[in-house]
Structure 1
Amino acid sequence: MAGLGVRPARILIAALSGVLAVLVGTGVWIAAQARDEQGRAGDKQAALLAAGTHAKNLMSLDHRSADADVRRIIDSSTGSARAQYEANAGKLRTTTIENKVVQHGVLRATGLVSMTATTARVLVVGDVEIRWEGSDSPRQERFYRWQMDLSKVGGVWLASKVVQV
């Protein structure tokens, strides 16, 4: 008769072990999902920040810092966008210096259109005030709207295609 009491205890221990294993597995799965979601949210924020930074680089030029300004534009881009900026860098630099351009941009908004693990499409809105030092020309305001495609290169989001919309 003593053996009859051991069997239900073993069944109970096995059942509780199974329930515990399911609970631990569920906890691990939930934690992994939360970590993945945090990673996606971080990537979204990083892509929006990169698009905003690139837009500010495009909008902010000063004849006194033209070399550094042009370098920032190039450094925040990749692929065909970078090749295009590099091809036009000399002309942009020369025009900015010769005309004593001081261009100050303000980022108004960014919005994520789509995203994968390595690409993102972002809409960007920015306004620019332009003046020419030593000139009687009045200040000008320009309003820019871009669609930027970004690529994740070495863990960093860079503008790969920029189109005014």
Structure 2
Amino acid sequence: MPTFKRGKATPDADEADVAELSAEEAEALAAAAEAEAAAARARANVLKVQQAKVEREAERETEVHDEVSGAEDEVAEKDTGDTGAAGDSAPLTPAAPRRRRLATAARYAAVCLAVIAIAALASTSAWIVVKHRQAEHQRDLAAQFSAAARQGVVSLMSLDFNRAKDDVQRIVDNSTGQFREDFQAQAEEFAKVAESSKVVTEANVTATAVQTMTEDTADVLVAAASTITNAQGAKDDPRSWRLIVSMARDGDQIKMAKVEFAP
């Protein structure tokens, strides 16, 4: 068996030592080196995973910080009146921005509803005013036709033989259209009959009602009473009449256009 002397190692000596290693010893050394390399790689992977986790947590913290800062800025701009006794802003909770937005939306909805209600009320008021004016105009118009019909019937049924021609002319003056033409054509004969019969009639209208009406024409129901005195022996004999008088505008006056006896 070879013997070794102690002394300073030389390159030739190291090569000799390696050469003298057995195959088993060389395989063990290679396995140890491989295990150490695998452990180094595992440690490197663990460090890499830990670094990525730290970076993700840092990014999440940054995003949360930005969201909270943006919400605080929004609340500070919209509501600067909620401050503490010392003037510091009240601490915000995660639900505060949402409540602020809901309150703002509620106020906006209330304003919109108020505007709609005011507009509807104004429209209704305008409609009521228009309808009221229309009703007043219709009442005034009906009153005009009724008054004209009343005057026309009194003129038509009141006659005194002492002034027959004047009374007949008054009837003509209160008539228009075909009724005026027909009555005027018989006016002279009518006056002569009244004078010869010594007729005196007095009439008064007891009631009127507008049946149909436009701006320029109307049919008016007239109830009238009269008394008659004549040469044939009548002396203040009472008579009752129901007439349908058609009225029409003639210039700035309303006159009789047709007279019929109602059943």
Give the aligned residue type for 1:138.
A
Give CA-to-partner distance per residue, 1:14-68, whole Å, 9 cap, x none.
5433322221221111011011011112222222222222111111011333343
Residue 168 of structure 2 corresponds to 70
Deviates more, 1:37-46 or 1:145-154: 145-154
Deviates more, 1:21-30 or 1:121-130: 121-130
Separation (CA, whole Å) in 1 of partners of 2:226 and 2:164: 16
Give the aligned residue type for 2:255.
L
SS at match of 2:186: helix
* Residues 1:107 and 2:228 aligned together: no
Give CA-to-partner distance per residue, 1:52-101, whole Å, 9 cap, x none.
22111111011333343223322322211111222122222233334433
Q: Which residue, 221, 233, 240 being the options, matches 1:137?
A: 233
Tell me the matched-pair count: 163
Residue 117 of structure 2 corresponds to 19
Query: Percent identical across equivalent pairs?
Result: 26
CA positional deviation for 1:159: 1.7
Separation (CA, whole Å) in 1 of partners of 2:131 and 2:212: 20
Separation (CA, whole Å) in 1 of partners of 2:222 and 2:111: 60
CA positional deviation for 1:127: 2.6
* Residues 1:86 and 2:184 aligned together: yes
Q: Which has the higher contact order (CA 8 A, sep 6+)?
A: 1
C-alpha contact 2:165 2:188 (8 A) present in aligned 1: no
TM-score relative to the length of structure 1: 0.79
Residue 161 of structure 1 corresponds to 258
Gapped regions of structure 1 (runs ≥ 5): none
* Residues 1:120 and 2:218 aligned together: yes
CA positional deviation for 1:122: 2.0
Query: Alpha carbons of 1:9 and 1:68: their partners in 2 closer, same or farther (altered >3 Å)?
Result: farther
Separation (CA, whole Å) in 2 of partners of 1:39 and 1:155: 17
Give the aligned residue type for 2:245.
M
C-alpha contact 2:247 2:254 (8 A) present in aligned 1: yes
Give CA-to-partner distance per residue, 1:121-155, whole Å, 9 cap, x none.
222222322224xx573324443322212223446
Query: Alpha carbons of 1:37 and 1:149: their partners in 2 closer, same or farther (altered >3 Å)?
Result: same
> Which structure shows the bigger proportion of residues in helix conformation?
2
Larger radius of gyration: 2
CA positional deviation for 1:13: 4.2
Separation (CA, whole Å) in 1 of partners of 2:227 and 2:134: 41
Residue 152 of structure 1 corresponds to 249
Give the aligned residue type for 1:89.
A
TM-score relative to the length of structure 2: 0.53
Deviates more, 1:106-115 or 1:72-81: 106-115
* Residues 1:43 and 2:141 aligned together: yes
RMSD over aligned CA atoms reads 2.7
